[in-house]
């Protein structure tokens, strides 16, 4: 059983990753910290609370509202054309009786790392602002956790928000650079593999037919939210009734890294040059440029197995 904190900006693909974590018998969610991105950090918390209620996972999970702007104050409009006005495809889930915990998100991450004594995995599905804030408060944080999985970055593929950058890394490039250099035991799941992993309408049709009865409402939500996501995928990439699954793939890899192949590299993130903001700078030459610890980045994944694993918990 892996103990995880999920740091998320709960949009459509985040929501599927969250539901996977709540339904997996190999993951125990210690808490959710939210960050701006697909929607505001407050709306992300509201979405997360409603998803917890929907999942009926059987244990209490705190939700904390985190950063609502980047470390440099850069503001980007929320991508309502991708995730809808409420972040989850305009699907209206029943309101939760639970409220966000009145505690600083960075403090919560530090506290859980200390409580779990090296057994905490952080799964970061959005901007890395909360993680960088926790680092500022406790520079020893990288040595207090078991691992961190980050969904973000484009190493050998073009970006999805600029020619050079992926949206999560771009959204707070300074925080990303701080985290990449900090010495975390870290796996980065970026566009190199998420853009090769698709969830189709046929997958969802079969899931509706064969899901466990107790998960029927969950699957109905997934189907409804993905209709919005599929429409964006068609309009932006010409994909017919399917879409890439960024955050769910990162969550599946957090549970079982064996479905991927990885390369070790020292990396940093450009945040001062506006044109190249969010670009991953890899130290792969013969003469090392950076002296901080290496990270793992996923270069290949068994996409079919990942999708089967994702659907299997429902």
Q: Which residues are catalytic?
A: 9, 246
Q: In the 3-class helix/strand/coil scheme, how is the chain assigned residue by residue?
A: CEEEEEEECCCHHHHHHHHHHHHCCCEEEEEEEECCCCCCHHHHHHHHHHHHHHHCCCCCCCEEECCCCCCCCCCCCCCHHHHCCCCCCCCCCCCCCCCCCCCCHHHHHHHHHHHHCCCEEEEECCCCHHHHHHHHHCCCHHHCCCEEEEECCCCCCCCCCCCCECHHHHHCHHHHHHHHCCCCCEEEECHHHHCCCEEEHHHHHHHHHHCCHHHHHHHHHHHHHHHHHHHHHHHHHCCCCEEECHHHHHHHHHHCHHHEEEEEEEEEECCCCCCCCCEEEEECCCCCCCCCCCEEEEEEECHHHHHHHHHHCC
């Amino acid at each position: 059983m892996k103990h995880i904190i999920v740091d998320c900006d709960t949009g459509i693909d985040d929501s599927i990753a969250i539901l996977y974590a709540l339904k997996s018998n190999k993951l125990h969610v210690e808490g959710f910290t939210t960050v701006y991105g697909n929607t505001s950090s407050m709306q992300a918390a509201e979405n997360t609370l409603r998803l917890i209620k929907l999942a009926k996972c059987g244990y209490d999970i705190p939700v904390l509202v985190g950063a609502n702007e980047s470390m440099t104050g850069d503001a980007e409009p929320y991508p309502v054309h991708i995730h809808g006005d409420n972040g989850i495809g305009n699907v209206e889930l029943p309101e939760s009786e639970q409220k966000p915990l009145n505690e600083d998100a960075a403090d919560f991450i530090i506290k859980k790392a200390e409580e779990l004594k090296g057994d905490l995995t952080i799964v970061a599905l959005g901007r890395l602002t909360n993680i960088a804030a926790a680092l500022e408060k406790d520079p020893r944080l990288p040595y207090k956790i078991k691992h961190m999985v980050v969904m973000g970055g484009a190493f050998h593929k073009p970006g999805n928000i600029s020619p050079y950058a992926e949206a999560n890394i771009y959204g707070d490039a300074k925080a990303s650079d701080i985290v990449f250099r900090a010495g975390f035991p870290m796996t980065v799941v970026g566009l190199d593999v998420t853009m090769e992993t698709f969830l189709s309408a046929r997958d969802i049709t079969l899931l509706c037919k064969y899901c466990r009865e107790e998960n029927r409402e969950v699957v109905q939500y997934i189907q409804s939210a993905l209709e919005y996501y599929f429409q964006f995928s068609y309009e932006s990439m010409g994909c017919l009734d399917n879409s890439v699954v960024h955050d769910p793939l990162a969550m599946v890899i957090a549970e079982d890294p064996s479905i991927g192949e990885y390369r070790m590299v020292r990396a940093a993130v450009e945040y001062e040059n506006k044109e190249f903001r969010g670009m991953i700078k890899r130290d792969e030459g013969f003469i090392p440029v950076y002296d901080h610890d290496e990270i793992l980045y996923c270069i290949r994944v068994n996409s079919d197995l990942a999708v089967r694993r994702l659907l299997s918990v429902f």
